[in-house]
Amino acid sequence: AQSVTQLGSHVSVSEGALVLLRCNYSSSVPPYLFWYVQYPNQGLQLLLKYTSAATLVKGINGFEAEFKKSETSFHLTKPSAHMSDAAEYFCAVSGGGTSYGKLTFGQGTILTVHP
């Protein structure tokens, strides 16, 4: 079984401030982990993914995430928020067994960026 918990359904930051979106996962096998962004009425766009290579993963638009096995975490960060970062962000895990290849999503975190 696999699951994802995103801490904080809403995060609000000022433009230029650090963005930190939290994600903890549960998986019975070494996981693949993903962060997606969704703008209103649109599909999902992949920001970055962890596939058992480097634990610090760099993605698009200045985002990065660090895989920490001991903490079962995969938090998303960006040093300086931009107004265009305002969107909903989903963390997802893909594991093995009967869930192989399937994505399980977290509840989502809405990021608001204030000028």
Partner 1 sequence: GAVVSQHPSRVICKSGTSVKIECRSLDFQATTMFWYRQFPKQSLMLMATSNEGSKATYEQGVEKDKFLINHASLTLSTLTVTSAHPEDSSFYICSARDASGLTYNEQFFGPGTRLTVL
For position 49 contacting partner 1 by CB under 8 A, the verdict is yes
Q: How far is the CB of 6 from partner 1 (least distance, A)?
A: 9
47 contacts 40 by C-beta, under 8 angstroms: no
For position 2 contacting partner 1 by CB under 8 A, the verdict is no
For position 86 contacting partner 1 by CB under 8 A, the verdict is no
For position 41 contacting partner 1 by CB under 8 A, the verdict is yes
8 phi-psi bin (left φ>0, alpha ψ -120 to 50, beta other): left
| Residue from 70, 72, 46, 69 nearest 58 by CA | 46
Choose between 8 and 16: whose C-beta lies nearer to partner 1: 8
Site size toward partner 1, by CB under 8 A: 21
Measured distance CA(8)–CA(102) in Å, rounded: 24
Binding site for partner 1 (CB under 8 A): 32, 34, 36, 41-46, 49, 51, 90, 94, 101-108
